Every structure is written in C-alpha cells, then in structure tokens.
C-alpha cells in the first residue's frame, strides 16, 4: 500500500509510524487509520520487528478524529458502513507499541495513545478529550480507558469539561510513563523500543498480554493467568539462554524460540 498520511520506517528491530497530515494537525481520518493499520499489520507479521513506535509532529501527535470528515455523518449510514470500524485495531496488536507524544494529543488522538502500551511524552504535550465541546462524547474507548489510567475523579473532570492537561499533570496522574525534553522525544522512544525489541519476542508478548489481563479481570484470575504463562516460559529456549547468560556473566542471545 502506498501511504499518503503516514511515514513508515524501520530502525533496526523497531518499526516507526509517523502520522503525517500537518495541514490538519494529524487529525485522524479514515484513510490515515487504514494506512496505520496496514503498517502495524506489516510490523506484526515481520519477525525482525520487536516493537513499534507511533509518533506525530512536534506540534501535534493527533488533534483527534477528523471533525470535517465526521460532521455530516448520519446514524444509519454510519452504522451500516461500519463508521470508524478500524479504530481499535491497534489495541489488538500483540507486539508492544509505544506512543511518542508531542504537542496536541486530543480526542481520538488520546484514545489512540491509550491503546498503545507505553506513552512517552514531550514537555510540550497537551492531552484532552474535548468531544463534549462538539456535542458528542469519546467513542473509541476514552470513557473506559481514561479512568483506568488516571482514576474516576480526573477522568470525569477531563471528559465533562473538555479541558487540556499538560505533560507534568499527565505524568503525575499516571497517564504517561515518562516526560522528556521535546528534542529528546524520538531518541528516548527509539531507545526504549530497541531495548524491548532486544529481548525474547514471545516472552515480551506474553508479558504484554498478562499486564493487559490485569485491566480486564479479577486479581485472583489475573494471578492464575500470570502463573500459567510464567510456567510456560520454562518451555522456551530463551528462558534457558537468559538464565545461562546471567550465570556466565555474558549477554544473552535470544532467538525468539
Ligand atoms: N479535525 C479536522 N481538522 C482539524 C482538527 C480535527 N480534529 N483539529 C485541527 N484541525 C485543522 C483545523 O481545522 C485547521 O485547518 P484549516 O482551518 O487551516 O483548514 C488546522 O487543523 C490547524 O488548526 P487550528 O487553526 O485550529 O490550530 P490552532 O493551533 O489554532 O488550534 C487546536 C489547535 C488543536 C486547539 C484546534 O485545532 C482544535 O481545537 N482542534 C479540534 C480538537 C478536537 O475537538 N478534537 C476532538 C475531535 S472528536 C470513534 C473513534 C474516534 C472518535 C470518536 C469515535 N469510534 C471508533 C466510534 C473521536 C472523536 C474525536 O476525536
């Protein structure tokens, strides 16, 4: 697929998707979502890629879904046409995805970032779910994921007022994992992604799956799930290699087996 709205690169074992609609502050239209899903599917099926980064520009990660594309939609046509159908596909990825966020990260842009596994923000990042100001509410998981990140009190505040939260508040609230200077954002994300990609791919994928299970189930069921996958790791060559390398004081050579 030829991409018009994103730029796709690989850096070693890291896949990089840069959202690229500068004229609309990377507003997410259907074409962009389709292209992003295609790129992610390519990285998912590429055994040489162990982690993906999604980023935007310095001014905007993404200013939300494309309001101009959405404005005249009707209910029945949208329902029949599976309006915004591909939006949550990123949450089904099995390899880790890092959102590297600078500037505006609003509405569907924040929902996209929250579907990633780690959010790294620049000091200039601004987060909001401003849908209420448009006469709608978040529709790509925002009302469900944001309270899980930052708790009900702050999620209600943000969703009902539509106000923006800066990077410092986002880090304090547990939405983002790290905040760095704007000029360091991509390097920081690339270094984190390269580290993740250097580990055993199946083990990383199992760790991601298990942490995500914590969001969906009881503590007891989650701990049982963890134990099952933990024990299964002793059937991998990479577990043997990782522990032998530690004992021999050398770097492990993980083979994803
Ligand atoms: N959509 C379309 N165009 C946008 C846009 C957006 N979300 N955000 C900005 N733009 C466009 C502007 O219209 C402007 O275009 P021109 O007028 O030059 O043609 C250009 O980008 C530059 O924007 P501004 O001139 O407004 O730039 P400023 O620096 O003055 O302001 C801003 C930046 C980010 C504060 C402002 O642009 C803004 O408030 N933008 C809208 C933010 C917003 O309301 N976002 C939420 C959209 S609703 C679902 C999936 C997703 C969703 C729902 C359901 N399902 C799966 C069911 C998501 C919904 C949303 O995200």
Which one, of 230, 158, 147, 194, lies nearest residue 49 by Cα? 194
pLDDT of residue 85: 77
Task: State pLDDT tens for residues 174-224.
Answer: 999 999 999 999 999 999 999 999 999 999 999 999 999 999 999 999 999
Distance in Å from the first CA to the final CA of the chain: 31
DSSP 28: B
Q: How far is CA 77 from the centre of its chain?
A: 29
Contact in structure between 62 and 56 (CB atoms under 8 Å): yes
**Ligand 1, atom 4: nearest CA belongs to which residue?**
24
Task: State pLDDT tens for residues 221-240.
Answer: 999 999 999 999 999 999 99
Q: What share of the chain is helix, strand, coil (3-state, %, to 5)?
A: 55, 15, 30
Structure tokens that stand for 44 in this block = 């998912």
Backbone angles phi, psi at 200, to 5 degrees: -65, 120
What average pLDDT does the segment 158-166 reach? Answer: 98
Instruction: State how far the Cα of 13 lies from the Cα of 28, in Å rounded to an integer.
Output: 26
Q: What is the mean pLDDT of the chain?
A: 96
Instruction: State how far the Cα of 193 lies from the Cα of 178, in Å rounded to an integer.
Output: 13
- Is the pLDDT score of 5 beyond 90? yes
Structure tokens that stand for 214 in this block = 């914590």
Mutational pocket test of ligand 1: of 62, 64, 163, the residue with most ligand atoms within 8 Å of the beta carbon: 64
Residue with tokens 């029945």: 76
Q: What is the DSSP string of 59-83?
A: SEEE-SB-HHHHTT--HHHHHHTTT
Ligand 1 centroid from CA 27, angstroms: 6
What average pLDDT does the segment 69-91 reach? Answer: 86
pLDDT of residue 79: 84
Consecutive H or E run containing 10: strand 6-11
- Is the pLDDT score of 241 beyond 80? yes
Mutational pocket test of ligand 1: of 22, 24, 25, the residue with most ligand atoms within 8 Å of the beta carbon: 25
Contact in structure between 100 and 18 (CB atoms under 8 Å): no
Instruction: Name 253's Cβ contacts closer than 8 Å, sequence gap at least 6.
Output: 241, 245
Task: State pLDDT tens for residues 7-20.
Answer: 999 999 999 999 99
Contact in structure between 103 and 80 (CB atoms under 8 Å): no
DSSP 3: -
Length in residues, the chain: 257
Structure tokens that stand for 12 in this block = 């070693």
Task: State pLDDT tens for residues 27-69.
Answer: 999 999 999 999 999 999 999 999 999 999 999 999 999 999 9
Find the residues whose C-beta lies inside 6 A of ligand 1.
24-25, 27, 63-68, 84, 87, 104, 106-108, 111, 130-131, 134, 139-140
pLDDT of residue 82: 72
Instruction: State how far the Cα of 170 lies from the Cα of 100, in Å rounded to an integer.
Output: 14
Task: State pLDDT tens for residues 107-119.
Answer: 999 999 999 999 9
């Amino acid at each position: 697929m030829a991409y018009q709205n994103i730029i796709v690169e690989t850096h070693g074992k890291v896949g990089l998707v840069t959202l690229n609609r500068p004229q609309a502050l990377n507003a997410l239209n259907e074409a962009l979502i389709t292209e992003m899903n295609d790129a992610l599917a390519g990285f998912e099926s590429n055994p040489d890629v162990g982690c993906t980064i999604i980023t935007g520009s310095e001014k905007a990660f993404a200013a939300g879904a494309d309001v101009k594309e959405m404005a005249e939609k009707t209910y029945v046509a949208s329902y029949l046409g599976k309006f915004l159908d591909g939006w949550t596909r990123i949450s089904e990825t099995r390899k880790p995805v890092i959102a590297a966020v600078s500037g505006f990260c609003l509405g569907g842009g924040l929902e996209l970032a929250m579907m990633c596994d780690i959010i790294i923000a620049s000091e200039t990042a601004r987060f909001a779910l401003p849908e209420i100001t448009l006469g709608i509410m978040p529709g790509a998981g925002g009302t469900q994921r944001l309270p899980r990140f930052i708790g009900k009190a702050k999620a209600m505040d943000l969703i009902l007022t539509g106000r923006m939260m800066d990077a410092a508040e986002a880090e304090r609230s547990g939405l983002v994992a790290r905040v760095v200077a704007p000029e360091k954002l991509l390097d920081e994300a690339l270094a984190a992604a390269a580290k993740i990609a250097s580990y055993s791919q199946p083990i990383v994928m199992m760790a991601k799956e298990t942490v995500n299970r914590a969001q969906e189930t009881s503590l007891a069921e989650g701990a049982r799930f963890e134990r099952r996958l933990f024990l299964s790791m002793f059937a991998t060559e990479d577990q043997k290699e990782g522990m032998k390398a530690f004992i021999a004081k050398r770097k492990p050579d993980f083979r994803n087996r």
